[in-house]
Amino acid sequence: MSYFLKRTENNLWHGKFSTFPEDLIVHAVSTRRGGVSKPPFDSLNLALHVGDEPADVLINRKKFIQSLGFGLADIVTPNQVHGDKIFRVDENWRGCGCANYADAIPETDALITDTPGLPLILCFADCVPIFFVDVENRAIGLAHGGWKGTLKKIAAKTLRKMNSAFGTQPKNCLIGIAPSIGACCYEVGGAVVDKCKAAFPKNHGELLIERDGKIFLDLWRTNVLQLLEIGVPEKNIDVAGECTCCKSDWYFSYRAAQKKNRDRTGRIAAAIALR
Ligand SMILES: [Zn+2]
């Protein structure tokens, strides 16, 4: 495990993987601290679609992306829909979704690119952010894995798409599985259990954990397993191991908000760009 939090010059925090080559990429997971949004979006909410004041979100986005050395107009971001569509972006897509949800890349849950200086951004509140770094071919990817995307094997599909687009080989790809809801907190119902068993007929025993008569899904392991299945060496996969629901003072968590009878919360972001 190599995940750590680092304080930035403009008083934000960056969640980072020490295994990623700093000379090749810029990356960070945001936290909920250091922004201007009011409860229940306090304070560094980075999503425009959750009911927060757009002006506040744009202040937050500017602050976060500037801390990575880019401007608001550089961001590329999609409308995430818990699907398994992966989209390749290049210079033509710079700025899509940066300030307006309506012009984000439609219905897409993973972005890949080999264009330098183009920051990919996805938003999360418990779902799993998955970073991909192909050191050999200088290409990157970023995926959103909630239970639906994870069981549709979006992580494996993103790597396959990087393979066809850039020649990415699983053995040369570094993976970072960022903070998201852990098996400690992610209780699931029968429909999810059935889908998990169908997607992982041999291995669901290690993914579905029974405790006190309830069933919990290990989303981290489910993403790791599908990457191992397509040939990523285990040593290349780094799991942050931080649960957003347990650490809801640091990260936005939909489940933690629900426990407080709130149906709205903010979103953290995962960001990555090639230098
Ligand atoms: Zn937890």
Which residue do the tokens 């090749």 mark?
24
At residue 265 the predicted structure's pLDDT band, cuts being 50, 70 and 90, is very high
Which residues, in sequence order, are CB contacts of 213 under 8 Å at separation 6+? none
**How many whole angstroms from 144 Cα to the centroid of ligand 1?**
19
- What are the tokens at 138? 């200088």
* pLDDT digit string, tens, across residues 128-162: 999 999 999 999 999 999 999 999 999 999 999 99
Residues 266 and 275: their CA atoms lie apart, in Å, by 29
CA of 252 to the centre of ligand 1 (A): 13
pLDDT in tens, 36-66: 999 999 999 999 999 999 999 999 999 999 9
Question: E strands along the chain, which residues?
Answer: 3-7, 13-17, 25-29, 86-88, 110-113, 120-124, 128-134, 139-145, 173-177, 208-211, 214-217, 237-239, 268-274
Cα–Cα distance, 13 to 185 (Å, whole number): 24
CA 149–ligand 1 middle distance (angstroms) = 20
Range 202-212 average pLDDT: 96
Asked if residue 185 has pLDDT above 90, the reply is: yes
Residues 27-39 have pLDDT tens digits of: 999 999 999 999 9
CA–CA dist 56, 82 (Å, integer): 26
pLDDT at 8: 95
Whose tokens are 């757009």? That residue is 54
Q: Could you tell me the distance, in angstroms and rounded to a whole number, from the CA of residue 255 to the centre of ligand 1?
A: 10
Q: What is the pTM of this model?
A: 0.98
The tokens for 12 are 């934000």
How close is the Cα of 70 to the center of ligand 1, in Å?
A: 33
> Which two tokens mark 124?
């999360």
Ligand 1 centre to CA of 224 (Å) is 18
CA distance 102 to 98: 10
Beta-carbon contacts of 158 under 8 Å, excluding residues fewer than 6 positions away, are 86, 110, 112, 130, 132, 141, 143
What is the pLDDT at residue 1?
61
> What residue segments make up the domains of the chain, in order of their start?
3-274
What is the DSSP secondary structure assignment for residue 11, as one 8-state letter?
S
Taking each helix axis from N to C terminus, what angle separates 219-229 and 154-166, rounded to the nearest 10 degrees? 40
Q: Tell me phi and psi for residue 187, to 5 degrees.
A: -70, 135
Topology (CATH) of 3-274: CNF1/YfiH-like putative cysteine hydrolases (3.60.140)
Beta strands 128-134 and 25-29, pairing class: unpaired
Torsion sign (Cα): 201, 207, 231, 149: positive
